[in-house]
C-alpha cells in the first residue's frame, strides 16, 4: 500500500477515518502466505505439477482416452505392441492399455481422495471427542487406536479384502462393488493418524479461554469441537491427509496387484500390473507405465505433503 | 520398572486376546463367512449342494455358537466333552470327511466309535493294524472316576471315557478283536484334574448340542496346537507348514535387514555430517523416492530387466524367481555362466539377490532418513561440542560420540522389524516366488485356507505386541531419561 500522508480532517466522521486499517499493516491472507511458502519448495511444486496433470487426465479421461477402457475389446489384436493405433499396445483381452491407464487415474485418484476425506474426518471427529471429553471416552478411543495400530496392516487388509471378495453390494453394478469394498476397508484402517493429531490439538486447546467463552455462550459440546477445536487442528491434518493420499494409492494398488483389490474389468493401476505380470512379461510397456503412474502419484503426494508441512508450520519462519 | 513391566505384560495379554477375538469374529462373521469361497466355481457340476455345505459346516463346527467356536479355537476342545459324555457319539450320517469310520461296540454294550485308517502293517495274529485318529467310548451318567492304562491295554473302568488321540505325531496302533482289548502304544493317561467342568462356563448341554462328537482332540491355538490346513496342504499340521517356510523367510528377511542397516547407517551419518552438500541432497532425494517406491513395481521391473531383457540380449541373466534352480541351470543364465551347481548355497545366494535388493531398498530408505535426522539432532548437542573442544579428531567425535548416541533410537525402530521375520514379505515373496511365510499367507488367503490365515494373524499379532514392548523397554535402557514408572 502506498504511503500517502493521511490528512485528518477534524470534521470528518470517525467511521470514514478507517484509522484501524491505516494503523495495522495489511494482513496477507492465510492462503496466500501458505502458497508463498509452498512455492519455495521446488520438489513440492514439481509434485503439484504432476498431480495437476494426473487430475486433469482423470477429469478429462473421456476426451483423452481414444477407446472405452472396458467395453472396447479387439479379440483379433491381443497383446499388441505399441503402435499409432494403440499408443501403449493392447492387453490380454485386446483392450487399449493407454485408455485403461487414463481411466485408472480416475478410479485410483477418486478412490484415494474419498477414502482419505472419510478417514481423516472420521479420525478428526473421534480425536476431537476423545480429547475434549477425556476420561473413559478418551481411554476407550485411544486404546482402540493403539489396538488397530498393533494389527499387522497388510495381512489384515488382505484378509479383509479376501473375505469380502465375492460380495455384491445391492443397488451397485457388480463391477463396482469391489471399488466400494476396498474403499471401506482402507477407510477402516486409515483413520488413526488424524485421530491422534486431532486429540493432541484439542487437548492443548481445551483449557484456553475461548473454549470457556464458547461454552458460556451456550454452545453445545459437539459444536465447540467441530466449530472451534477441529479448525485449529486442520493444518497437521491436511499434511497427514496429503501424505495419506499417496499411502492409499500404494495400498490400493498393492491389494489390486495381489488380486485382492479392485477386480477387473474396472481398470486400476494395480490390477493392470497384475494382469501384465500374469501374462507374458515380454512387453515392458505394460509393466512400466502403470507402475510409473503409481510411483509418480505417490512421490508427488509425498513431496506436496512435505511442502505443505513446511508451509503450514507456524514455527518455521521462511 | 518392574511394576511397569508387569503392567505391560498383562496389557499385552489383553491386547493379544482382543486381537484374537477380533480376528476370529471378523473372519467368521464377515458376509459369506469363511466358506464364502466355496461356491465360486463356475462349473455347476462341481458346486456343493446346500446339504453338502451344511455337512461341511457341521464337520468344521461352523454351526456352533460363535463364542463356543472361538473358545475351542483358542483353548481347544479336548477338555470340552467331559461333561457331555451322555451325548451320542456316533458320526453324523453321510459323513464323508473321515477316513473309513468304523463303529464297534465296547464291552458292556457301550457304543464305541473309532475313526482311523488301516495301515499296511499286520500284527502277529494277522490282524490289521489301524492308525487311529479318534476313539470314543460313550456312556451315560457321571464322568469317569478313574481309568487306567495297564501296560498297553486300555481298560474302561467306568461307563464313560473319551480318549482323543487325534495327533499325527503319536503313532497309535489299535488292533480290533472281538473282545475289544485295545493295545495302545505311546499314549499317556490323562490325569484326572485335566477335566474341566465346562458346564459351568457354557451352561446346560443344550448350548453345546452334540458338540462332543466334533473334533475333541484340538488343544487350541493358545496351547500351541495350531490345527491343520484345510486347503493349501490338506490335513498337514500348520506347525509343519510354518516350519517348512520359516527358514526361507528368515534367510531373506534377516539378510535384507542386515544389509539395509549396514548401508543405511553410514548413509544417514554421512549425509547428516555433510548437511546441505550435494551428497546430502542426493541421499535425501533417494530416501524420499525409496519410501514411495511401490515394492511390487520395483520387483517386477527388476525381473523384467535382469531376467527377461538380459535373456533377450544374451547377457547372463538372473533367475526370475524361486529359491534354487531346478535340476539343470538353463543355458545362458548367470547360474550356468558361473557353473554353479543347482541346489547349492551359491545357487540360493544368486536367487536371493533380487528379492533381498528390493527388500533392503525399502527399509534402507526409511532407516537412513531416520538416522540422518537423529544424527543432526545429536550433532547439535553440547557433548559433541565438548568433544570437539577437547581437541578430539573429527572422526572420533563423529563415530564415537555422535554416531553411537544417534544409533540408540534406531535400535528401537529396528526392533519393530522383528515381526516381519515371521510374516515375511508378502509382496516381494509373491513376485519372486520365494517360498516363504509371506507367500504361504498369500496362498492361504487365495485358497480360503482360514485356519492357516487365523494362526498366521494370531502369531503375527503376538509378535507385533512383543516387538512393541521390546522397543519400549529398550528405550528406557538406552535412554535413561525416559522412565515409565
Give B-chain residues touching A303 at CB under 8 angstroms: 288
Whether residues A159 and B27 touch (CB distance < 8 A) is answered with yes
Whether residues B31 and A165 touch (CB distance < 8 A) is answered with no
Lowest mean pLDDT among A18-32, A98-112, A303-317, B190-204: B190-204
Say whether residue A287 is in contact with chain B using an 8 A CB cutoff: yes
Partners of A82 in the beta sheet?
A: none
Say whether residue B286 is in contact with chain A using an 8 A CB cutoff: no
Please tell me the predicted confidence (pLDDT) of residue A19: 62
Residue A208 in grid coordinates: 484456553
**B70 to chain A nearest CA, in Å?**
18
pLDDT tens per residue, range B136-145: 444 333 333 3
Please tell me the predicted confidence (pLDDT) of residue B63: 66
Question: Is pLDDT larger for residue B152 or for residue B16?
Answer: B16
Mean pLDDT computed over every residue of chain B: 69
The pLDDT of residue B333 is above 80: no
At residue B235, the 3 state secondary structure works out as coil
For A162, nearest residue in chain B (alpha carbons): B445
Please tell me the predicted confidence (pLDDT) of residue B483: 65
Question: Is pLDDT larger for residue B36 or for residue B439?
Answer: B439
User: Of chain B residues 294-313, which have a CB less than 8 A from chain A?
Assistant: 294-298, 300-301, 303-304, 308-309
pLDDT tens per residue, range A215-272: 888 888 888 888 888 888 888 888 889 989 988 999 999 998 888 888 888 888 988 8
Question: Is pLDDT larger for residue A52 or for residue B194?
Answer: A52
Cα A139–Cα B5–Cα A135 angle in degrees, nearest 5: 15
Please tell me the predicted confidence (pLDDT) of residue B78: 61
Whether residues B292 and A155 touch (CB distance < 8 A) is answered with no
User: Of chain B residues 452-481, which have a CB less than 8 A from chain A?
Assistant: 453, 456-457, 460-461, 464-465, 468
Please tell me the predicted confidence (pLDDT) of residue B277: 87
Give B-chain residues touching A259 at CB under 8 angstroms: 446
Highest mean pLDDT among A260-269, B125-134, B355-364: B355-364
Highest mean pLDDT among A281-290, B72-81, B406-415: B406-415
A90: nearest Cα among A272, A223, A225, A259: A272
Band of the pLDDT at B357, cuts 50, 70, 90? very high
**A215 to chain B nearest CA, in Å?**
36
Lowest mean pLDDT among B7-11, B113-117, B249-253: B113-117
Residues in Cβ contact with B400 at an 8 Å cutoff, skipping those fewer than 6 apart: none
Highest mean pLDDT among A214-218, A314-318, B114-118: A214-218
B361: nearest Cα among B425, B453, B419: B425
The pLDDT of residue A74 is above 80: no
Mean pLDDT computed over every residue of chain A: 82
Say whether residue A150 is in contact with chain B using an 8 A CB cutoff: yes
Alpha carbons A189 and B369: distance in angstroms, whole number: 25
For A158, nearest residue in chain B (alpha carbons): B445
Instruction: Return the H-helix or E-strand segment holding B174.
Output: strand B173-175
Say whether residue A260 is in contact with chain B using an 8 A CB cutoff: yes
Q: For the residues B428-455, what does the mean pLDDT come to?
A: 88
Q: Which residue bears the cell 548413509?
A: B267
Q: For the residues B222-227, what does the mean pLDDT come to?
A: 81
Lowest mean pLDDT among B7-21, B38-52, B171-185, B281-295: B171-185
Please tell me the predicted confidence (pLDDT) of residue B194: 29
Q: Report the percentage of chain A scoring pLDDT > 90.
A: 19
The pLDDT of residue A82 is above 80: no
Band of the pLDDT at A191, cuts 50, 70, 90? very high
Question: Is pLDDT larger for residue A232 or for residue B94?
Answer: A232
Whether residues A166 and B37 touch (CB distance < 8 A) is answered with yes
The pLDDT of residue A296 is above 90: yes
**A109 to chain B nearest CA, in Å?**
16
Please tell me the predicted confidence (pLDDT) of residue B254: 92
**A121 to chain B nearest CA, in Å?**
24
Of B297, B461, B464, the CB nearest to A294: B297
Band of the pLDDT at A5, cuts 50, 70, 90? low
CB pairs under 8 A between A and B: 129
Q: For the residues B286-315, what does the mean pLDDT come to?
A: 86
Band of the pLDDT at B252, cuts 50, 70, 90? very high
Q: For the residues A103-113, what does the mean pLDDT come to?
A: 91
Whether residues A273 and B297 touch (CB distance < 8 A) is answered with yes
Please tell me the predicted confidence (pLDDT) of residue B447: 79
Q: Is B31 exposed, middle or buried (0-12, 13-18, 19+ CB in 10 A)?
A: exposed
Question: Is pLDDT larger for residue A220 or for residue B174?
Answer: A220
User: Of chain A residues 62-121, which have a CB less than 8 A from chain B?
Assistant: none
Please tell me the predicted confidence (pLDDT) of residue B36: 59
Whether residues B296 and A156 touch (CB distance < 8 A) is answered with no
Question: Do residues A192 and A148 touch, judged by C-beta distance below 8 A?
Answer: yes
Neighbours of B451 (CB within 10 A): 19
Residue A233 in grid coordinates: 487442528
Please tell me the predicted confidence (pLDDT) of residue A134: 85
Of B15, B308, B445, the CB nearest to A158: B445
Residue B213 in grid coordinates: 462328537
Alpha carbons B428 and A291: distance in angstroms, whole number: 15
pLDDT tens per residue, range B254-275: 999 999 999 999 999 999 998 8
ipTM of the complex: 0.81
The pLDDT of residue A172 is above 90: no
Say whether residue A60 is in contact with chain B using an 8 A CB cutoff: no
Please tell me the predicted confidence (pLDDT) of residue B266: 92
Q: For the residues A97-113, what does the mean pLDDT come to?
A: 90
For A289, nearest residue in chain B (alpha carbons): B297
A interface test, pick of B13, B36, B300, B463 with most A CB neighbours within 10 Å: B300
Please tell me the predicted confidence (pLDDT) of residue B235: 67
Please tell me the predicted confidence (pLDDT) of residue A263: 82
Band of the pLDDT at B418, cuts 50, 70, 90? confident
Please tell me the predicted confidence (pLDDT) of residue A18: 64
The pLDDT of residue A68 is above 90: no
Whether residues A165 and B303 touch (CB distance < 8 A) is answered with no
Amino acid at each position: 500500500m502506498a504511503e500517502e500522508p493521511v490528512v485528518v480532517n477534524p470534521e470528518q466522521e470517525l467511521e470514514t477515518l478507517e484509522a484501524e486499517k491505516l494503523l495495522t499493516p495489511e494482513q496477507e491472507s492465510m492462503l496466500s502466505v501458505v502458497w508463498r511458502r509452498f512455492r519455495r519448495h521446488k520438489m513440492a511444486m514439481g509434485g503439484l505439477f504432476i498431480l495437476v496433470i494426473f487430475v486433469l487426465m482423470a477429469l478429462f479421461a473421456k476426451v483423452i482416452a481414444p477407446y472405452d477402457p472396458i467395453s472396447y475389446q479387439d479379440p483379433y489384436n491381443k497383446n499388441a505392441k505399441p503402435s499409432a493405433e494403440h499408443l501403449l499396445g493392447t492387453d490380454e483381452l485386446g483392450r487399449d492399455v493407454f485408455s485403461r491407464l487414463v481411466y485408472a487415474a480416475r478410479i485410483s485418484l477418486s478412490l484415494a481422495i474419498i477414502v482419505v476425506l472419510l478417514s481423516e474426518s472420521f479420525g478428526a471427529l473421534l480425536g476431537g471427542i476423545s480429547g475434549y471429553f477425556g476420561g473413559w471416552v478418551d481411554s476407550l478411543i485411544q486404546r482402540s487406536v493403539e489396538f488397530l495400530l498393533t494389527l499387522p496392516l497388510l495381512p489384515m487388509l488382505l484378509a479383509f479384502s479376501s473375505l469380502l471378495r465375492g460380495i455384491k453390494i445391492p443397488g451397485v453394478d457388480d463391477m463396482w462393488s469391489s471399488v466400494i469394498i476396498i474403499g471401506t476397508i482402507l477407510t477402516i484402517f486409515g483413520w488413526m493418524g488424524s485421530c491422534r493429531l486431532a486429540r493432541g490439538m484439542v487437548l492443548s486447546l481445551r483449557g484456553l479461554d475461548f473454549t470457556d467463552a464458547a461454552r458460556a455462550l451456550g454452545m453445545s459440546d459437539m459444536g465447540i469441537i467441530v466449530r472451534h477445536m477441529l479448525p485449529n487442528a486442520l493444518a497437521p491434518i491436511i499434511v497427514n491427509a496429503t501424505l495419506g493420499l499417496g499411502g492409499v494409492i500404494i495400498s490400493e494398488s498393492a491389494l489390486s496387484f495381489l488380486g485382492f483389490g479392485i477386480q477387473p474389468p474396472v481398470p486400476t493401476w494395480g490390477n493392470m500390473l497384475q494382469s501384465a505380470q500374469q501374462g507374458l512379461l515380454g512387453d515392458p510397456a505394460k509393466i512400466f507405465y502403470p507402475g510409473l503412474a503409481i510411483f509418480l502419484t505417490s512421490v508427488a503426494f509425498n513431496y506436496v505433503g512435505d511442502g505443505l508441512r513446511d508451509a503450514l508450520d507456524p514455527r518455521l519462519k521462511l | 520398572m518392574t511394576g511397569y513391566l508387569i503392567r505391560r505384560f498383562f496389557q499385552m495379554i489383553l491386547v493379544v486376546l482382543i486381537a484374537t477375538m477380533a480376528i476370529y469374529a471378523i473372519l467368521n462373521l464377515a458376509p459369506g463367512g469363511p466358506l464364502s469361497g466355496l461356491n465360486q466355481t463356475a462349473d455347476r457340476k462341481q458346486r456343493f449342494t446346500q446339504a453338502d455345505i451344511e455337512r461341511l459346516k457341521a464337520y468344521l463346527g461352523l454351526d456352533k455358537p460363535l463364542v463356543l467356536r472361538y473358545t475351542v479355537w483358542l483353548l481347544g476342545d479336548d477338555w470340552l466333552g467331559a461333561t457331555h459324555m451322555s451325548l451320542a457319539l456316533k458320526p453324523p450320517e453321510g459323513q464323508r470327511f473321515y477316513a473309513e469310520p468304523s463303529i464297534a461296540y465296547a464291552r458292556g454294550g457301550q457304543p464305541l466309535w473309532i475313526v482311523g485308517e488301516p495301515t499296511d502293517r499286520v500284527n502277529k495274529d494277522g490282524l490289521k493294524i489301524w492308525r487311529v485318529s479318534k476313539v470314543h467310548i460313550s456312556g451315560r451318567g457321571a464322568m469317569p472316576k478313574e481309568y487306567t492304562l495297564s501296560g498297553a491295554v486300555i481298560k474302561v473302568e467306568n461307563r464313560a471315557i473319551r480318549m482323543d488321540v487325534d495327533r499325527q505325531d503319536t503313532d497309535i496302533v489299535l488292533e480290533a478283536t472281538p473282545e475289544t482289548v485295545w493295545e495302545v502304544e505311546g499314549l499317556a493317561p490323562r490325569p484326572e484334574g485335566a477335566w474341566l467342568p465346562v458346564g459351568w462356563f457354557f451352561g446346560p448341554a443344550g448350548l453345546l448340542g452334540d458338540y462332543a462328537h466334533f473334533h475333541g482332540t484340538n488343544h487350541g491355538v493358545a496351547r500351541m496346537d495350531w490345527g491343520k490346513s484345510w486347503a493349501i496342504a490338506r490335513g498337514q499340521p500348520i506347525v509343519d507348514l510354518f516350519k517348512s517356510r520359516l527358514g526361507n523367510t528368515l534367510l531373506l528377511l534377516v539378510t535384507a535387514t542386515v544389509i539395509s542397516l549396514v548401508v543405511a547407517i553410514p548413509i544417514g551419518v554421512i549425509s547428516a555430517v555433510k548437511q546441505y552438500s550435494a551428497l546430502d541432497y542426493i541421499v535425501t532425494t533417494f530416501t524420499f523416492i525409496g519410501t514411495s517406491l511401490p515394492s511390487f513395481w520395483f520387483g517386477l521391473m527388476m525381473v523384467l530387466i535382469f531376467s527377461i531383457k538380459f535373456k533377450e540380449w544374451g547377457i547372463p541373466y538372473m533367475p526370475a524367481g524361486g529359491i534354487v534352480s531346478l535340476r539343470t541351470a538353463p543355458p545362458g543364465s548367470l547360474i550356468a555362466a558361473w557353473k554353479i551347481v543347482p541346489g547349492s548355497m551359491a545357487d540360493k545366494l544368486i536367487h536371493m539377490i533380487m528379492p533381498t535388493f528390493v527388500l533392503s531398498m525399502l527399509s534402507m530408505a526409511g532407516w537412513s532418513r531416520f538416522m540422518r535426522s537423529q544424527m543432526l539432532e545429536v550433532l547439535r548437542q553440547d557433548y559433541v561440542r565438548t568433544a570437539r573442544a577437547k581437541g578430539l579428531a573429527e572422526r572420533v567425535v563423529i563415530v564415537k560420540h555422535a554416531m553411537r548416541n544417534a544409533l540408540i533410537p534406531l535400535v528401537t525402530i529396528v526392533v519393530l522389524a522383528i515381526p516381519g521375520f515371521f510374516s515375511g514379505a508378502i509382496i516381494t515373496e509373491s513376485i519372486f516366488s520365494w517360498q516363504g511365510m509371506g507367500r504361504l499367507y498369500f496362498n492361504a488367503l487365495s485358497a480360503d485356507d482360514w485356519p492357516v490365515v487365523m494362526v498366521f494373524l494370531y502369531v503375527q499379532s503376538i509378535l507385533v505386541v512383543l516387538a512393541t514392548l521390546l522397543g519400549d523397554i529398550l528405550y528406557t535402557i538406552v535412554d535413561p531419561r525416559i522412565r515409565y514408572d
